[in-house]
Structures are given as C-alpha cells and as structure tokens.
Amino acid sequence: MPSSFAQLARSSECHARTGRLATLHGHIETPVFMPVGTQATVKAMTPEDLKQIGAQIILGNTYHLYIRPGHELIRELGGLHRFMHWDRPILTDSGGFQIFSLNELASITEDGASFRSHLDGTKLFLSPEDAVAVQEALGSDIMMALDTCIPYPATRAEAARATALTNRWARRCRAAQTDTGQLLFGIVQGGLYPDLRLAALAELAETGFDGYALGGLSVGEPKEEMLAMLAACGHRMPADHARYLMGVGTPEDLVEGVMHGMDMFDCVMPTRNARNGMLFTSQGKLVIKNACFQKDAGPLDPLCTCYTCKNFSRAYLRHLFQSHEILASQLNSIHNLHYYNNLMAQMREAIRQDRFLAFRDEFYRLRGGQKP
C-alpha cells in the first residue's frame, strides 16, 4: 500500500520535518495543529472562521458523537462533513481516552470497554470493531484505533498489561476496517517506560498503519517526563508515515514536539483558554480580565494579523469578557486558533529554510522563557 504521507524537508540539526498527508478531503501540510471539535463543532467558531484562520484539519470525537446524536443519524444525514458543513479533512479520536477520562466506572475486558453515558447513565459498550464501524459511519478522513489510556502514575506491570491490550485492539481495528479509503492510525501507549513504548511501536509497525500516534502523554506527569518520552520515541516512529502527538499541548510543547519529529497535534487549550479569557501571544500568555487592560487601545498581540487583532482593542475585549458576552468567546477563539495555526506555519517555513533551531531560540527569547 502506498504511504499517504510524504516527507518534503528535514532539518539538518534536529528531527523536525515538513511533509504532506493525503486524505479523502485533500492534502494537509505538516507539522499541523488540529482544532478540537468534540461535538461536531469547534466551540464558538463557524467553519468559515476556521478557514479564515487557516485550519487545515479538525478533530472530532467518536465517544461524544456515538452518545449524541448517534453515528447512524450522522450517516443518514450524509456524514460528519455534510452534517457540520466542513469540507476539509477531519480526524476522529477513537473514544478510548474519552471513555476513561469521563467515566470513573468504565471497565475493560479483552472484548472492549463498558461504560455509562455521561449524559444519562445508559450502559454502553464499545469494542475495537465498533470503534471502526462508528468512525466509518461518521466518514472521518483519519480514524484512530481504540486504545486504553494508562493513568499516571502506573507501575510497569500495569503499563505493560494495558499496552499489550491496546496493541491487540489495534490489530482488531485494522482487521475490521472496510474499503472506504479512510486512513487508520495506531496509538503507541507504554506509560513512562520507553522500552515498553518502543516494543509497542515495533508491534504496531508490524501490523502496519497509515500513521502512528503517541498516546498517554500529558496525563498529569511532570513536563520533563513527557519531553523524555518524546525524545525517546518521536524520531523512532516510522519516518515514512505521519506521527501524531495526541492531546498536546502548549505552544512550547508544539515546538518541542516538532523538534523531536512529530507532525500532528491537537489540544483543547487554545479554544478552552480563549473562553476563559486567557490569550496566547508572541510575548507569552495574557489574561484579558486584568485591570491593566481597561484603557488599553492596542491589539491583543501587535504581531498578530487575525480578525480580532486587526479590529478590536484589548479594552474592548476586556469589556466583552467582563460582561460575559458571547462575542468574547468568539473573538478570543479566533485569536488563539490563529496564533496556534500561525505558529505551525512559521515552523513549516523554518524547516523548509533549514533554520528550525534558530526559530526555536527566537521563540523562547521573545517570550522571555527558558528552553526546556
């Protein structure tokens, strides 16, 4: 099978690379950030807003859409793209992580995961085969294999057991896939044990997936531990396939992830923080409710070219936030997602020009921060 991913340029000083991923809804230039659209919507953003900030691909959640409104309904209405009026690529997460993070009572057997709906308590079950069938009904471009996320901290024995199950489930997902042209990515677990992760990766690569993800990171472990796993595993993931770091992270995490050879990222941080009045800027974080912005006529970020920064003052944005106006969420989300998207675009350009480490130095210098 030809790979859906082509590497286009690589840094001569680190593992950073640019590439192109082919999907049913067109190409994605990597490294890429995927805004999170859990409920078939990226909160507070219309699809047109998303296009304006340059989003190439968004993420949807199998777990939430399975519970409400149901994958059969979405299939009947023409699939997730038509349902939400988004014609660019969509990646759907498999549900594994959401089942365990939203359900204290979830239980795992060899067969699959049993859990209760977080909405009304209904008993539900999702097998690896179900996870693929649901994602095929949704019609996402990239499907994720069903995994079990290992909580932090976990003993080596716990991590080994969960990782082995995740890999058996991954094989079942691959076998359950039908001929839809959708891509299927495998997920590397292994907790904070690099040898477990590398063994899991070798097994997954043996099965053969269209891309490989690092799961189970940014789940409460110290930052150094996450970066150590990234350094141990990132560049050892198959170079001829896309590499996805799941649920990560801060702008700094994205820069470190790219340096270690990762291609794809998603995180609720830009959208969630936007709604909470925390904005990302080239100089670091900004809390819009702070009194110092009461009469500030300047833009959020003088270096930003987004709709929000071109048209509104910090004073106005602070007023909207303090008044709990819906527009605060919208304008702040536009800015934060523009910031994330622009950061990725800058990294792609720096890699093409083979000056990624210089870009990284400047990134930390501007925000007055230390490199990890």
Residues near ligand PRF (CB under 6 A): 93-94, 96-97, 144, 147, 149, 187, 215-219, 246-247
Binding test (CB under 5 A) with Zn ion, winner from 124, 304, 320, 328: 304
Q: Which does 335 bind (CB under 5 to 8 A by kind): Zn ion, ligand PRF, none?
A: Zn ion
Indicate the SS3 state at residue 160: helix
Quick one: which of 266, 225, 219, 224 has its CA closest to 245? Answer: 266
Find, among 96, 91, 92, the residue nearest to 21 by Cα: 91
> In whole angstroms, what is the distance from residue 233 CA to residue 337 CA?
28
The distance of closest approach from Cβ of residue 335 to Zn ion in the complex, given in angstroms and rounded to an integer, is 4
CA distance 189 to 201: 8
**246, interface contact from ligand PRF, Zn ion, none, CB < 5-8 Å by kind:** ligand PRF
Q: Give the other-Cβ count within 10 Å of 292's Cβ.
A: 10
Sheet with 26-30, strands from edge to edge, namely 5-10, 17-23, 26-30
Both tokens of residue 261? 């050879």
Q: Which does 217 bind (CB under 5 to 8 A by kind): ligand PRF, Zn ion, none?
A: ligand PRF
User: Torsions phi, psi of 150, nearest 5?
Assistant: -90, 120
Please give the DSSP secondary-structure letter assigned to residue 210: S
Token duo for residue 235: 């560049």
Tell how far CA 333 is from the center of its chain: 16
| Catalytic-residue membership of 266 | yes
Distance CA 194, CA 328 (A): 43
Residue with tokens 């071109």: 310
Task: Based on the residue annotation, tell me whether 93 is a catalytic residue of this protein.
Answer: yes
The one catalytic residue among 141, 253, 266, 301: 266
Nearer Cβ to ligand PRF (215/299): 215
Q: Which is nearer to ligand PRF, 147 or 301 (CB)?
A: 147
300-320 burial by CB neighbour count: b if 16+ within 10 A, else e?
Answer: bbeebebbbbeebbbebbbbb
CB of 219 to ligand PRF, least distance (A): 6
Amino acid at 360: R
Q: Smaller CB distance to ligand PRF: residue 248 or 300?
A: 248
- H helix or E strand, kind and range, residue 144: strand 142-144
Residue placing its CB nearer to ligand PRF in the complex, 89 or 96: 96
Residue 245's H or E segment, with its range, is: strand 242-245
Q: Does position 347 bind Zn ion by CB under 5 A?
A: no
Smallest distance, Zn ion to C-beta of residue 301, A: 5
Residues 166 and 211: their CA atoms lie apart, in Å, by: 16
Of these partners, ligand PRF, Zn ion, none, which one is at the site of residue 306 (CB under 5 to 8 Å by kind)? Zn ion
Span from 21-29, 82-90, 120-128, 330-338 in contact with Zn ion (CB under 5 A): 330-338
335 touches Zn ion by CB under 5 A: yes
β-pair type (183-188, 142-144)? parallel
CB of 310 to Zn ion, least distance (A): 8
Number of Cβ within 10 Å of residue 67's Cβ equals 20
Q: Residue 89 and residue 245: Cα distance in Å, rounded?
A: 18
Set 49, 93, 130, 210: catalytic member: 93
Residues designated catalytic: 93, 266
Chain contacts with Zn ion (rule: CB under 5 A)? 304, 306, 308-309, 335
